Amino acid sequence: MGTEKEIVVSGIRSTGILHLGNYFGAIRNYIRMQEEFNCYFFVADWHALTTHPDPKELRGNVYRVLAENIASGLDPEKVTLYVQSDIPEIAELYLLLNMMAYKGELEKVPTFKDKVRQNPDNVNAGLLTYPVLMTADILVHRGLKVPVGKDQEQHLEMSRNFAQRFNNRYGYLFPEPVPFNYGDDLIKINSLDGVGKMSKSENQNSTIFLNDSDDDIRYKIKRAKTDSGPQEPNSAKPDYIANLFTMMGLVSTPDTIKHFEDTFNNCTIRYGDMKKQLAEDMVTFIAPIREKAEAIQQDTAYLTRIMRYGAEKARASAAQTLQEARKLMGINFY
């Protein structure tokens, strides 16, 4: 028996269609992590309920997100891939941790304040205690490493606090989870209109989705923001041009990239040619993922099997943790 692999836990939101930014920002790292760590990846359907989605949509979204992640390279044999609501132990740990979470600290969370501002008529308890559920998701497997974006780092800080509080009050059970990414590899892809990063909700025409048709991809890249080109040799690239080169770096051959780098540096670049080439390379990259995801989504029997298999593995791990937590808290009467 070798040394135990460290445990990585990450939630996948079940809203919105995955896009290029998600792929290179998160999924590609997951694919690398599945070779090195003991990974628990779950679809966060309970988290989605804070915004009251239509039940029909929720089901379709969960299927689609699983299909897109598997099509992108997540291997259900190598990772534990499951749906959050299939693991009742998470809900019980959430209840126990809520006893250690204080109203004042939860109200201060910036994402909570944002949600209240955006939607003052839907300030439900689930929204307030979102960081506690996120903590239960991680601690139920005694996760150590959590791949999170900048916007989630404060929630993770709270997870560490809750783990610490539990350990101090009842005895050591939980490692304190730390944010984790392959630092050299954090790729940020910006929106094609040059405004902010690619997003599921902002400008749909400036985001390349993993289910876009070949023609959609060509159309979107053709319309990407450019300018009249550099005036001086070896100029610095404006953000929106650098973004096209970033995308090219991900899907094109080294020769292609070198060609356009050279023409940029000697001021002869033709952005129309560059965008045409980028669009074709992007189509070649995305089409197989899209087709595979569509096929998986149609195969509900296969998806159900994956969910059941993932739930069994996740529940075995979660049940062990919960048993320990109850014992330490004195909730074991016979």
Active site residues: 115, 197, 200
Instruction: Report the amino acid identity of residue 219.
Output: Y
| Element holding 101 (H helix, E strand) | none
Q: Rounded CA gap, 80 and 308, in Å? A: 11
Asked if 88 and 60 count as a contact pair (C-beta separation under 8 A), the reply is no
Q: Rounded CA gap, 247 and 207, in Å? A: 12
Q: Rounded CA gap, 9 and 311, in Å? A: 14
In DSSP terms, 38 is beta-bridged to 7
Distances (CA, A) of 129 to 9, 59, 94, 167: 19, 23, 9, 20
Q: Rounded CA gap, 120 and 228, in Å? A: 45
